[in-house]
Amino acid sequence: MTRRWPPADPVPGRGDGPRRGDPAPIRAPLDRLLGSLGAPSADALSALFERWSELAGMPLADHGEPVRLEGGVLTVAVREPAWATEWRYRQGELLRRCDEALGEGIVTRVEVRVRGR
């Protein structure tokens, strides 16, 4: 008798679906948890941090970093007070880009905090 490896269907009747012992997808439970905390979906958070340079634009992205997004309020940390002023002046651009990239209402306001060196 010739055996095939791997078996064609290790769990009968399940086809190409998850197999016994495979980790369960985490996206849905993570999104529920984030929603209960007042945060956007995992996809939106991931896009915010991964596309920060594009969303903030240059040179702002080099002089501020996202540190928190809660209840639509994005907190950006800067090192110099002059950059905090520039961030506040240009926050409308960031809000528009976030609406386009993440979905409307994900980021509704930007708070800028100056952090020590």
User: What is the predicted pLDDT for the residue at 70?
Assistant: 85
Q: Strands of 65-70's sheet, edge to edge? A: 65-70, 73-78, 109-114
pTM for this model (two decimals): 0.69
The domain segmentation of the chain, as residue ranges, is: 39-114
Note the pLDDT tens digit of each residue in 7-41.
555 555 555 666 777 776 777 776 677 667 666 77
CATH number of 39-114: 3.30.300.180
Between the CA of residue 70 and those of 65, 73, 105, what are the distances in Å?
15, 5, 12
pLDDT higher than threshold 90 for residue 66:
yes
C-alpha Rg value of the chain to the nearest Å: 21
User: What is the model's pLDDT at position 46?
Assistant: 82
Give the Å distances, CA to CA, from 107 to 21, 84, 94, 95, 99: 38, 18, 9, 6, 7
Give the pLDDT band of residue 117 (cuts 50, 70, 90). low
